[in-house]
Amino acid sequence: MAGIYSHSGWAETCRGDIGQMTVNVQNIKYLPTLPLNTQMTGMMADNGSGIHFSCDLQVPKAAAKRLVYRQLKTTSTPLSIGGQHVFPSALDGIGYSLGFQCSGGAVRFIDGSHAAGNGESVTVCDSNEMANLLNQQQIVVKVFVTFYKTGNVALVSGNHANVPAQPQIGELTIQQQADSRSGFVASSPVTLDMAALNVDIGSSGSCQVSTANIHVSLGTVNKAEFKGKNTTGGVAKRFSIPVFCSTPTDIRIGFFGVTSPSGGTDTLALSKANASASGVGVRLTYGNNGAPAPAAGTGVKINEASNLPVLKRITASSAGAAENINFNAQYVQTDDAVTAGTANSMVTFALEYN
């Protein structure tokens, strides 16, 4: 008996190693004094080892591959904060955005760009941009979560809230294209669940600032002053936040905003606008506040609400007697090249106290 077969009948197969993954993150802190629609944490990596996809590289191999995430739990019109689409968590008043990193590449967010079809989606990576995807047997996708204050969260007993898990918030697939004339064929999806969250809720009561909006002019800086990544330009400019409290209180201050992707956790990204400069950010450091505050020049961790240092014990009880807490801002080079232009940035601060 003779058997007839064709090599063209074989094809490469790619699939997720698991069918479901739960995104676990550390405890988060909600500050009632933070304005609405403000980022309240930094970008937090999932505690696990990522989502693994396997490809057998069987000939004929795929001509193109891409990994696509599609958000399932969303609203008709997603909220956009800092350019990222923010989705509701299981606790009213807290939302989240998602970022994905494929095989150590750039982190991509659901922001309307790199969308794949209708709905809230993002092409996490694509062999047109990462050619090595075509030859990888194991592809790993890391998940990142950022949380935002989207409303007022009611204080609870003990200033702590447990947020239930959210099943099937979205799904991730690996998609293959046999040739340029064919469409993409998706694998079975790996569904994502959001784990239960533990939220610590800060105080909302008795301390205020006498000046809510503070403008810091960093002046004009020649780009020749920057000599490479992490070098500074211009002079560090001091700014102060005046605080008063109804009773003597230990004060911590958190700063929240869009950080530079290639800078440190103490560096703000420049605001996006026509004719903006590039390759630089604005670094924030603590000023001279005396003990027990961090030493002057220590970097401020942006989007950090937990484990903030005590900066000062405030005894002033009126706006007229408010006590200054000092910080510094300075331009810093964040990329290999600097281009000239306007260089503005914005950050929100919030008081934290017991």
Same domain, yes or no: 166 and 236: no
pLDDT in tens, 274-287: 888 999 999 999 99
- Give the three-class secondary structure for 174: strand
How many percent of the chain have pLDDT more than 90? 57
Interatomic CA distance for residues 192 and 169, integer angstroms = 6
Interatomic CA distance for residues 318 and 1, integer angstroms = 99
Same domain, yes or no: 196 and 281: no
Same domain, yes or no: 68 and 113: yes
> Is the separation of the CB atoms in 286 and 349 below 8 Å?
no
Interatomic CA distance for residues 55 and 17, integer angstroms = 10
Interatomic CA distance for residues 145 and 234, integer angstroms = 34
The total of structural domains in the chain comes to: 2
Please say if the pLDDT value at position 324 is more than 60: yes
Residue with tokens 């026509």, as numbered in its chain: 274
CATH of residue 317's domain is: 2.60.40.1090
Same domain, yes or no: 127 and 182: yes
10, two tokens: 């074989």
Same domain, yes or no: 179 and 51: yes
Residue 11 CB-half CA count within 13 A = 11
248 φ, ψ (degrees, to nearest 5)? -55, 130
CA angle 294, 282, 233 (to 5 degrees): 100
Q: Is residue 317 included in any domain, yes or no?
A: yes
Same domain, yes or no: 29 and 87: yes
Residue 178 CB-half CA count within 13 A = 9
How many Cβ atoms are within 10 Å of 324's Cβ, its own excluded? 16
DSSP string, 297-354: TPBP-TT--SSPPP-EEE---SGGGPEEEEEEEEEEE-SS--B-SB-----EEEEE--
CATH of residue 187's domain is: 2.60.40.1410
Give the closest residue to 170 by CA, choosing from 23, 13, 15, 17: 23
278 φ, ψ (degrees, to nearest 5)? -140, 160
pLDDT value, residue 299: 95
**Binning pLDDT at 50, 70 and 90, where does residue 228 land?**
very high
Domain membership of residue 43 as a residue range:
10-201
Same domain, yes or no: 183 and 216: no
- Last residue of a domain, which of 175, 201, 227? 201
Same domain, yes or no: 196 and 243: no
Q: Is residue 92 included in any domain, yes or no?
A: yes
pLDDT in tens, 51-89: 999 999 998 889 999 999 999 988 778 899 888 999 999
pLDDT in tens, 112-133: 888 887 788 999 999 999 999 9
Choose between 291 and 7: higher pLDDT.
291
* Residue 260 bridge partners (DSSP): none
pLDDT value, residue 79: 92
Interatomic CA distance for residues 203 and 101, integer angstroms = 35
**Binning pLDDT at 50, 70 and 90, where does residue 204 land?**
low
Give the closest residue to 61 by CA, choosing from 179, 189, 187: 179
Q: Is residue 5 included in any domain, yes or no?
A: no
pLDDT in tens, 160-177: 777 889 999 999 999 999
Same domain, yes or no: 65 and 42: yes
**Binning pLDDT at 50, 70 and 90, where does residue 2 land?**
very low
Q: Is residue 4 included in any domain, yes or no?
A: no
Single pTM value for the model = 0.72
Average pLDDT over residues 15-33: 88
> Is the separation of the CB atoms in 152 and 33 below 8 Å?
no
Same domain, yes or no: 19 and 126: yes
**Binning pLDDT at 50, 70 and 90, where does residue 156 land?**
low
Please say if the pLDDT value at position 8 is more than 80: no
**Binning pLDDT at 50, 70 and 90, where does residue 147 land?**
very high
Q: Is residue 3 included in any domain, yes or no?
A: no
Same domain, yes or no: 239 and 171: no
Q: Is residue 77 included in any domain, yes or no?
A: yes
- Last residue of a domain, which of 201, 219, 237? 201
**Binning pLDDT at 50, 70 and 90, where does residue 5 land?**
very low
How many percent of the chain have pLDDT more than 70? 95
pLDDT in tens, 96-108: 999 999 988 888 9
- Last residue of a domain, which of 201, 233, 254? 201
Same domain, yes or no: 164 and 304: no
Q: Is residue 90 included in any domain, yes or no?
A: yes
Interatomic CA distance for residues 351 and 200, integer angstroms = 15
Q: Is residue 343 included in any domain, yes or no?
A: yes
